[in-house]
Amino acid sequence: MSALLSRVLRDLRITPERTFDVPQSERAVPLPSRLATGELAWASVAAVQVAIGAEVVPALDPDRIALAYRSDRFLRIDGEHPDVWSPHSGFWRASDGWIRTHGNYPHHARALLDGLGLDAAAAADDIRAAVAAASARDSVERITRAGGLAVVVSPEDPARDAALCSRPLIELARAGDASPESSRELDSNAPLRGIRVLDLTRVIAGPVCTRTLALLGADVLRIDPPALPEPEWQHLDTGHGKRTAVLDARSAEMNALLGQADVVVLGYRPAALARLGLSPDVLTERHPGLVVAQLSAWGAEHPDRAGFDSLVQAESGIAMVESPDGQAPGVLPAQALDHSAGYLLAAAVCAALNRRRAEGGSWQISTSLRRVAAELLRMPRDSEPSPQHEIDPAGHTQDFSVDGHTVTTVRPVLPWFSFAAPHPWAADAPGW
C-alpha 189 chain-centroid distance: 25
338 shares a domain with 370: yes
Query: CB count, 10 Å around CB of 245?
Result: 19
The answer to whether residues 63 and 191 belong to one domain is: yes
Please check whether residues 130 and 175 belong to one and the same domain: no
3-class DSSP state for residue 60? Answer: coil
Is the residue at 424 inside a domain? no
- The domain containing residue 250 runs over which residues? 2-78+159-303+332-410
Same domain for 391 and 341: yes
* Overall average pLDDT of the 68-90 stretch: 94
Predicted confidence (pLDDT) at residue 83 exceeds the cutoff of 90: no
Count of C-beta atoms within a 10 Å radius of residue 267: 24
Phi, psi (degrees; rounded to nearest 5) at 89: -105, 135
- pLDDT in the model for residue 184: 63
Dist. CA 24–CA 347, nearest whole Å: 19
DSSP 188: T
Vertex 348 angle, CA 45 and 244, to 5°: 85
132 assigned to some structural domain:
yes
Mean pLDDT confidence for 198-217 = 97
Residues 9 and 137 in one domain: no
Residues 244 and 361 both lie in one domain: yes
Same domain? For 29 and 42 the reply is yes
What is the predicted pLDDT for the residue at 185?
Answer: 67
Q: Does residue 423 have a pLDDT over 80? A: yes
| Same domain membership, residue 179 and residue 35 | yes
Separation CA 69–CA 64 (nearest Å): 9
Has residue 425 been placed in a domain?
Answer: no
Cβ within 8 Å of residue 38, ≥6 positions away: 28, 29, 30, 31, 62, 65, 66
Enumerate the β-bridge partners of residue 295: 367
pLDDT given at position 183? 63
For residues 106 and 87, give the distance between their C-alpha atoms in angstroms, rounded to a whole number: 11
Instruction: Categorize the per-residue pLDDT at 181 as very low, low, confident or very high, splitting at 50, 70 and 90.
Output: confident
How many Cα atoms are found within 13 Å in the side-chain-facing hemisphere of 353? Answer: 29
Is residue 428, in this structure, part of any structural domain at all?
Answer: no
- Is 83 contained in some domain? no
pLDDT class of 314 with cuts at 50, 70, 90: very high
For the chain, the domain total comes to: 2
> Tell me, what's the pLDDT at 16?
87
The reply to whether 265 and 365 lie within a common domain is yes
In whole angstroms, what is the distance from residue 3 CA to residue 312 CA? 24
Structure confidence at residue 188 as a pLDDT band (50, 70, 90): confident
Span 250-288, pLDDT tens digits: 999 999 999 999 999 999 999 999 999 999 999 999 999
- Could you report the per-residue pLDDT of 212-261, keeping only the tens digit for each? 999 999 999 999 999 888 989 999 999 999 999 999 999 999 999 999 99
Q: Do 107 and 247 belong to one domain?
A: no
Q: Is 95 a residue whose pLDDT tops 90?
A: yes
Strands 150-152 and 97-101: antiparallel
Helical packing angle, 2-11 and 37-52, nearest 10°:
50
Share of the chain above pLDDT 90, in %: 88
* 337-393 per-position pLDDT tens digit: 999 999 999 999 999 999 999 999 999 999 999 999 999 999 999 988 877 778 999
pLDDT confidence of residue 189: 85
pLDDT digits (tens, 9 = 90+) for 137-167: 999 999 999 999 999 999 999 999 999 999 9
Same domain, 368 and 273: yes
How many residues comprise the chain?
Answer: 432
Q: Are the C-beta atoms of residues 406 and 77 closer than 8 Å to each other?
A: yes
Which of 133, 154, 175 is at the close of a domain?
154
Model pLDDT for residues 19-69, shown as the tens digit of each residue? 888 888 888 899 999 999 999 999 999 999 999 988 888 899 999 999 999
Q: How far apart are CA 50 and CA 53, in angstroms?
A: 6
Q: Where are the beta strands (DSSP E) in 95-201?
A: 97-101, 150-152, 171-176, 196-200
Is 383 within a domain?
A: yes
CATH of residue 176's domain is 3.40.50.10540
171 and 33 within one domain: yes
Q: What is the mean pLDDT of the chain?
A: 95
